[in-house]
Chain A
């Protein structure tokens, strides 16, 4: 499939935003149950949530470039009963809204205690809203992943691993950004986030590699025999019905073909996972913000390459009809 840059930016940017929201909420829970001291100034979560909303907003902005008629984009919210794409269109603004409310509650410290624990900490409004935002963000990973995983005619995508990988990669990159935010605000959770980002990056390396391996062993479900209904062992296409090109040649193939997929796969395994993981280990050692920031930045670029390869690797069944011309 042809990788569209709008979608590459959309899925990677909202992945960071969602991962960041989840990380913030988890951090707040950790503070609440007393595994870590509460942030003295308390603003880290507010700023972090704003950063998450900015990432989600940038992703939403990028998505409009994918539409040929963006002025009617509101219509895309109408078919949520059947279309995962429609569900994403609905859920993304919801997650952004929740993130914004979370940020406001934390910033203005509107924190009526709902339940109080023995250690003196209590379940506050911010904690509840943050948890809801994090759950919505997790759900959005599923919804975004399903947009691709439900396309059964692209066997490389039609797998639960598409959803799992979207989620783990988003959580990893979001945790890395959470570590930066915590570090900047002098938060106590910086090391925790950094460690989480490292673990998630390593897990992502494993699960994404597993999907690459699975995709290298896919069996064909259709052949030219069933595509044109001729019971011959040897069928060769002579004409696609035109001498130039068509939508079917452009949308369903990637520039560079299989070589480009192979090259970008090696590149993203290194830049999205291995190199950032190494830098995160260094950052854990001496805690430098520069190392941490470069790990996150390199990981983001690596994930862009990863998304490119994800799209380019998808082989659509319709390509059976567009194989050759004499």
Chain B
């Protein structure tokens, strides 16, 4: 229905977000807003920021969900931004070509100089990742900080999306998911990374790592010190230097 499918990109930059680690601090939200409101593409405006019903444009939001029934509940903090789908339904519907997916790295972008503000693309994103800028009259969404990840004037360590750099718990990993050796690919492979709503066939590039429980099994004898079977507290007894040691090799 949408014409021919996009050829899969050779390189696909993406974020991998570890839901087991995210503490819901919103540091990624604020640093995303700070970086992306300060660039040459124009601000991410806030309407009525100090009023009763503030409304603003953000590329990234951290939502919170409670799973389970009280008292057996678990709180999941869930950062959400454009997933840079490999088969993005938002792109072919755009009548102007303002929305596009880059061949070279798979980033889905909006050309603000072409967008007419019809909002049709936002209807075709199942994740609610696009937010409309009423001031500029164009659609906005996460750019994966395309204006800094290739900035050669930055230290290579800093050529990452602002959210990734800001995360205090390192819950966000950035990399090429088509490169099996990248940190992102390894994290997905080793920790059962998953995609959101796979039933729609959008094939999101961003992945999430699930909540996982870390348990170890301890046996009774591991709880008893073999070198102190009688559990005597205090200084170990002074032993004459001539007496044999436990292993007959070491010194007292």
Report chain A residues within 8 Å CB of B78. Answer: 228
**Closest CB-CB distance, A77 to chain B, in whole Å?**
8
Q: Does A221 contact B (CB under 8 A)?
A: yes
Report chain B residues within 8 Å CB of A82. Answer: 2-3, 92-93
Report chain B residues within 8 Å CB of A191. Answer: none
Binary CB contact string for chain B from 46 to 62 against chain A (1 if under 8 A, 0 otherwise)? 00100001111110011
Contact B67 A76 (CB under 8 A): no
Binary CB contact string for chain A from 231 to 246 against chain B (1 if under 8 A, 0 otherwise)? 0101111111111111
**Closest CB-CB distance, B25 to chain A, in whole Å?**
12
Number of cross-chain contacts by CB at 8 Å = 186
Contact B67 A85 (CB under 8 A): no
Report chain B residues within 8 Å CB of A68. Answer: 116-118, 132, 134, 136-138
* A82 vs B200: C-alpha distance when bound (angstroms): 18
Contact A227 B197 (CB under 8 A): yes
Contact B53 A241 (CB under 8 A): no
* A83 vs B1: C-alpha distance when bound (angstroms): 9
Contact A234 B69 (CB under 8 A): yes
Report chain A residues within 8 Å CB of B76. Answer: 228, 230
* A228 vs B186: C-alpha distance when bound (angstroms): 21
B62, B94, B96, B127, most chain A CB atoms within 10 A? B96
Contact A67 B117 (CB under 8 A): yes
A154, A243, A244, A319, most chain B CB atoms within 10 A? A244
Contact A153 B63 (CB under 8 A): no
Q: Chain A interface residue count: which class?
A: 35 or more
Contact A242 B61 (CB under 8 A): yes
Report chain B residues within 8 Å CB of A86. Answer: 95-96
**Closest CB-CB distance, B115 to chain A, in whole Å?**
7
Binary CB contact string for chain B from 106 to 119 against chain A (1 if under 8 A, 0 otherwise)? 00000000111111
Q: Does B75 contact A (CB under 8 A)?
A: yes
**Closest CB-CB distance, A214 to chain B, in whole Å?**
20
**Closest CB-CB distance, B114 to chain A, in whole Å?**
6
Q: In residues 250-270 of chain A, which contact B (Cβ within 8 Å)?
A: 250-252
Contact A246 B63 (CB under 8 A): no
Report chain B residues within 8 Å CB of A227. Answer: 196-197
* A89 vs B210: C-alpha distance when bound (angstroms): 44
A147, A151, A227, most chain B CB atoms within 10 A? A227
Q: Does B125 contact A (CB under 8 A)?
A: yes
Q: Does B174 contact A (CB under 8 A)?
A: no
Report chain B residues within 8 Å CB of A241. Answer: 26, 29, 58, 61-64, 80
* A77 vs B63: C-alpha distance when bound (angstroms): 38
**Closest CB-CB distance, B240 to chain A, in whole Å?**
64
Report chain A residues within 8 Å CB of B147. Answer: none
- Measured CB to CB, the nearest residue on chain B to A2 is B119
Within the complex, which residue of B29, B62, B118, B123 is in contact with A67, where a contact is CB–CB below 8 Å?
B118
**Closest CB-CB distance, A160 to chain B, in whole Å?**
12
Q: Does A9 contact B (CB under 8 A)?
A: no
* A92 vs B97: C-alpha distance when bound (angstroms): 19
Contact A246 B55 (CB under 8 A): yes
Contact A232 B116 (CB under 8 A): no
Binary CB contact string for chain A from 24 to 41 against chain B (1 if under 8 A, 0 otherwise)? 000000000000000000
Contact B65 A318 (CB under 8 A): no
Q: Does B12 contact A (CB under 8 A)?
A: no
* A272 vs B120: C-alpha distance when bound (angstroms): 27
* A190 vs B60: C-alpha distance when bound (angstroms): 60
**Closest CB-CB distance, B154 to chain A, in whole Å?**
28
Contact A244 B54 (CB under 8 A): yes
* A67 vs B117: C-alpha distance when bound (angstroms): 5
- Measured CB to CB, the nearest residue on chain A to B66 is A236
Binary CB contact string for chain A from 47 to 70 against chain B (1 if under 8 A, 0 otherwise)? 000000000000000000011111
Report chain B residues within 8 Å CB of A322. Answer: 128
Contact A222 B199 (CB under 8 A): yes
Q: Does A217 contact B (CB under 8 A)?
A: no
Report chain B residues within 8 Å CB of A245. Answer: 53-55
Report chain A residues within 8 Å CB of B138. Answer: 68-69
Q: Does A116 contact B (CB under 8 A)?
A: no
Q: Does B203 contact A (CB under 8 A)?
A: no
**Closest CB-CB distance, B54 to chain A, in whole Å?**
4
User: Taking beta carbons and an 8 Å cutoff, which residues of A are in contact with B?
Assistant: 1, 66-70, 72-73, 75-79, 81-86, 89, 147, 150-154, 221-222, 224, 226-230, 232, 234-248, 250-252, 316-319, 321-322
**Can you list 11 pairs linking A and B with CB atoms under 8 Å apart?**
A68-B132, A82-B2, A82-B92, A151-B93, A232-B74, A234-B69, A237-B66, A238-B75, A244-B53, A245-B55, A318-B125
Apart from the given pairs A69-B138, A226-B198, 12 other A-B contacts in the complex at a CB distance below 8 Å? A1-B123, A69-B116, A69-B117, A83-B120, A153-B89, A229-B196, A237-B65, A241-B64, A244-B55, A244-B56, A245-B55, A246-B131
Give 7 nearest A-B pairs by CB, closest first.
A68-B117, A68-B137, A241-B61, A318-B128, A86-B95, A82-B92, A244-B54
